[in-house]
Amino acid sequence: MAEEPQIISAIRILFEVIWTHLRLIFEILKALFRFVVPPTPKEVNEDIILITGAGHGMGREVALRFAKLGATVVCIDINAKGNEDTLKMIKQAKGKGFTYECDVTDREAVMQLAQKVEREVGEVTILINNAGIMPCKPVLRHSEKEIRTLMDINVNGNLWMIQAFLPAMLERNSGHIVAMSSMAGKMGLRNLVPYCGSKYAVRGIMEALALELHEDPRDTNGIKFTTVCPYIVNTGLCHNPRIRFAGLMKTVEPGEAADQIVDAVRREYHEITIPSDLYYTNKIFNLFPPAGGRILTDFIGTGLDPHD
């Protein structure tokens, strides 16, 4: 086969560059429009929503809110009592719910869970990977067991759940995967070195997964992704928050965070921070050189002191 003339290749690349610019401009305009006119929240009354870490904190609050919207909520937690308490609250509010005890770090148990949920409840349409732990101390005071456990729950737990529930979503080209990252997954914080690493990993997993499906030869446009990056939420994980300007950087209550998470899922946002203004603050923060970022961090004076 004859090689394509150089002039033809140059013209082809030129048109490709023009087409790429037009697509970029369109996406920028669309984003600006959506900033002014947010998407209409989708109904979830026919969805089966599985939430890990549903036995307390934000997981419980999110479960209750989706149940009130008519969704069937599947509550997953290793803490059977807390999980059952969440289910009781759902039932008291006339909602539909199921509970399953599962250790998300056990891949085989997660695979069995997926089969059981599909058999007993139905195919999960929205997966919310919420389970996580947050030990808070200087990195040299972490034991090997603490770090391995943190990574198993915060990182591997996400991967096992995705491997268990994504195949069915791919088959029907429909589904929504939600991951709980953190502002600690967008910027480093003292006393949270392993935790920051795990939450950066969660964001990386979600970004890479979205790109992998985008490049999949199958039609995967029906599968959505949302990454949630909360600031300090008053769930009991943050024992010693240090906030210099409390009026500007206040601790967020679980109910308030849950409202924003549910709204983001229903509007199919790609990524949110809680509070929302931190999304833009963080982007501005990242424009500074590392030394400048540390100067701003010293001035803001926000972080977490060790738990023990």
CB 77 within 8 A of CB 83: yes
Query: How confident is residue 147, by pLDDT bands cut at 50, 70 and 90?
Result: very high
Q: Residue-wise over 21-32: b if at least 16 C-beta within 10 A, else e?
A: eeeeeeeeeeee
Tokens of 14: 């030129």
Question: pLDDT tens digits for 240-277?
Answer: 566 655 665 667 788 889 999 999 999 999 999 988 87
pLDDT score at 13: 87
The pLDDT of residue 33 is: 87
Q: Is residue 23 part of a domain?
A: no
195 is catalytic: yes
Q: Which of 195, 200, 231, 269 is catalytic?
A: 195
Number of domains making up the chain: 1
More confident residue, 248 or 200: 200
Residue 32 included in any domain: no
Burial class of residue 99 in the structure, from the number of CB atoms within 10 Å of its CB (0-12 exposed, 13-18 middle, 19+ buried): buried
pLDDT at 34 (0 to 100): 84
Domain CATH for 116: 3.40.50.720
Report if residue 64 sits inside a domain: yes
- Tell me, what's the pLDDT at 188? 84
More confident residue, 262 or 188: 262
Please indicate, yes or no, if residue 16 is contained in any of the structural domains. no
CA dist list (Å): 4 to 7, 10, 77:
8, 10, 60
For the ranges 24-28, 136-140, 294-298, the lowest mean pLDDT is seen at 294-298
CA dihedral 59, 101, 143, 133 (to 10 degrees): 0
Look at 277 and 164; give whichever has higher pLDDT: 164
Instruction: Report the chain's mean pLDDT, rounded to a whole number.
Output: 89
pLDDT in tens, 221-232: 999 999 999 987
Does 100 map to a domain? yes
Q: Closest Cα to residue 229, out of 191, 270, 174?
A: 270
Per-residue model confidence as pLDDT tens digits over 6-55: 888 888 888 889 999 999 999 999 888 888 888 999 999 999 999 999 99
Task: Judge whether 143 lies within some domain.
Answer: yes
Does 22 map to a domain? no
Residue of 132, 42, 51, 129 lying closest to 90 (CA atoms): 51
- Give the pLDDT of residue 205: 98
Q: Is residue 166 part of a domain?
A: yes
Residue-number span of the structural domain to which 247 is assigned: 41-304
